[in-house]
């Protein structure tokens, strides 16, 4: 019972040491591979998201938003309002509030203008005395109906799709109206009723003899 085992031979000792070295080497290699994989994933994630963003993101970020009761907009007046972006996050704060202009030209006729100038996007101001929208950046001027009056813009102000429901005025919000998403391609001031908002591919000038440059080619 008390017999002691003979000590391992030199060959056995070297074999055990080699096994321990291989085990440590394998462990450190696995740790290094895991760390490299984590770093590569952290670097690749934003790159892949950027490349695949146009494919994976939603087709439209839009929803109907109520911007006020009908009686809040007097006939013949243009009013500055703001509404909550329907696709904002809690940390967006005040940036989730989007301004726009509402014009009621007749009891049942409303137009909601995007506040951005159609030239380079500066916010326009409404001057009730002159009945004009004016851009402070490059001198763009628009008539009360949103059509271009003068300056560098090549077309009138963009407008939101709207509808009346339960005594409230609603707009299709979530994206700023532009030429690349469903902008309201209004006709020339002297033309008939407004065109249905569609995808607009390029801009054409109004025919000679007609004010403004709101005419658009729909793609």
Instruction: Choose the most confident range, by mean pLDDT, from 5-9, 67-71, 189-193, 207-211.
Output: 67-71
Lowest mean pLDDT among 87-96, 100-109, 149-158: 87-96
Q: Which of the two residues, 149 and 57, has the higher pLDDT score?
A: 149
The residues that bridge with 165 in the sheet, in sequence order, are 168
Ranking 34-43, 60-69, 123-132, 207-216 by mean pLDDT, the lowest is 207-216
pLDDT single digits (tens) 139-164: 999 999 999 999 999 899 999 988 99
Question: 62 or 197: which carries more pLDDT confidence?
Answer: 62
Q: What are 2-26's pLDDT values in tens digits?
A: 566 667 676 776 777 777 766 777 7
Return the pLDDT at 1.
53
What topology is assigned to 63-218 in CATH?
Rieske Iron-sulfur Protein (2.102.10)
Rounded to whole angstroms, the Cα distance separating 135 from 148 reads 11
Report domain extents, the chain: 9-57, 63-218
Grade residue 123 by pLDDT with cuts at 50, 70 and 90.
very high
Q: What is the rounded CA–CA span in Å between residue 28 and residue 19?
A: 14
Beta pairing, strands 97-106 & 109-114: antiparallel
Mean pLDDT throughout 94-121? Answer: 90
DSSP 145-196: TS-EEESS-SS---B--EEEETTEEEEEESS---TTTT------TTSSSPPP
């Amino acid at each position: 019972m008390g017999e002691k085992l003979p000590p391992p031979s030199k060959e056995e000792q070297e074999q055990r040491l080699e096994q321990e070295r291989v085990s440590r080497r394998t462990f450190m290699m696995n740790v290094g591979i895991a760390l490299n994989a984590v770093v590569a994933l952290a670097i690749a994630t934003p790159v892949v998201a950027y490349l695949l963003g146009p494919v994976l993101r939603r087709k439209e970020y839009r929803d109907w938003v109520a911007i006020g009761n009908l009686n809040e907009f007097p006939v013949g007046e243009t009013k500055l309002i703001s509404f909550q972006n329907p696709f904002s996050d809690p940390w967006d704060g005040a940036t989730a509030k989007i301004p726009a202009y509402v014009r009621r030209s007749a009891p049942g006729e409303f137009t909601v203008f995007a506040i951005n100038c159609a030239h380079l996007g500066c916010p326009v101001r409404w001057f009730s005395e002159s009945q004009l929208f004016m851009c402070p950046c490059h001198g763009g001027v628009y008539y009360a109906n949103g059509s271009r009056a003068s300056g560098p813009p090549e077309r009138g102000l963009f407008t939101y799709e709207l509808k009346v429901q339960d005594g409230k005025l609603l707009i299709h919000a979530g994206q700023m109206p532009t030429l690349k998403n469903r902008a309201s391609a209004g006709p020339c001031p002297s033309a008939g009723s407004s065109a249905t908002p569609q995808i607009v591919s390029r801009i054409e000038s109004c025919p000679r003899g007609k004010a403004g440059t709101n005419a658009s080619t729909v793609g």
